[in-house]
Amino acid sequence: MAKTAQQPVLVIMGVSGSGKSTVAGVLAGKLGWDLAEGDDLHPEANVAKMHSGQALTDEDRWPWLGIISEWIRERADAGVPAIITCSALKKKYRDVLRGEGVVFVFLQGSKDKISDRLASRHGHFMPPSLLESQFDALEEPTEDENYISLCVSASPAEEAEEVIERLGLHPVTGDSEAGVK
């Protein structure tokens, strides 16, 4: 992972059920950073499509990725460290989100492990039946991307601690400020 002088914006990525929202929430709490749930930025038509069991197409995703990209750029331009969740399954999607200070945190796990997680999740618009399409679309990050990978075998708190340690971030404690070493 390349260190930058700029405050980072972390994009917590992976297939549905990999723990993006949970890990992002733990990280935001520990770091005191801005947090956005990428799923909340989907147009209503996308949510309805997924809720009905239909996978999104690239055409469905472009407007959503534009909204996420704008959110990232606003924080990056203001020098505000932040965290956002986004599946970012394909390299061409991540290319839209990339920029100085953007670090992808790839949460990866086996289909069986993530399927078990999805089976126990309630109230989410993404049905477990679409997991296969998520794995089919997944293109793991490559060496030209600024990323770290984490196996989703630990608890969300342990995964967040690993992100903090690997990226050299500073949790909020007392009067200290969050940021990069």
**Rounded average pLDDT over 136-143:** 94
Phi-psi region of 47 (alpha: psi -120 to 50; beta: other; left: phi over 0): alpha
Q: Is 177 a member of any domain? A: no
pLDDT above 70 covers a percentage of the chain that reads: 84
- Is 1 inside any structural domain? no
Residue 176 lies in a domain: no
pLDDT more than 90, % of the chain:
64
Q: What is the pTM of this model?
A: 0.86
Domain membership flag for residue 4: no
What is the mean pLDDT of the segment spanning 167-173? 88
Residue 124 or 50, more confident:
50
Average pLDDT over residues 159-166: 96
| Residue 90 forms part of a structural domain | yes
Tell me the pLDDT tens digit for each residue of 80-103.
Answer: 999 999 999 999 999 999 999 999
Structure tokens at 76: 């990056």
Q: In 3-state terms, what secondary structure has residue 128? A: helix
Q: Which whole number is the average pLDDT over 11-37?
A: 95
Which pLDDT does position 173 carry in this prediction? 66
Pairing verdict, β 179-180 and 169-170 = antiparallel
Number of domains in the chain: 1
- How large is the average pLDDT for residues 152-156? 90
| pLDDT tens digits, one per residue of 44-83 | 999 888 888 888 889 999 999 999 999 999 999 999 999 9
| Residue 49 structural domain | 9-169
- Give the pLDDT confidence score for residue 127 in this predicted structure: 56
The CATH number of the domain where 100 resides is what? 3.40.50.300
Q: Alpha-carbon distance 9 to 141, whole Å?
A: 17
pLDDT score of 179: 43
**Does 43 have pLDDT greater than 50?**
yes
Residue 34 binned pLDDT confidence (cut-offs 50, 70, 90): very high
In a domain, 174, yes or no: no
In terms of phi and psi (left: phi > 0; alpha: psi -120 to 50; beta: otherwise), the region of 128 is: alpha
In a domain, 38, yes or no: yes
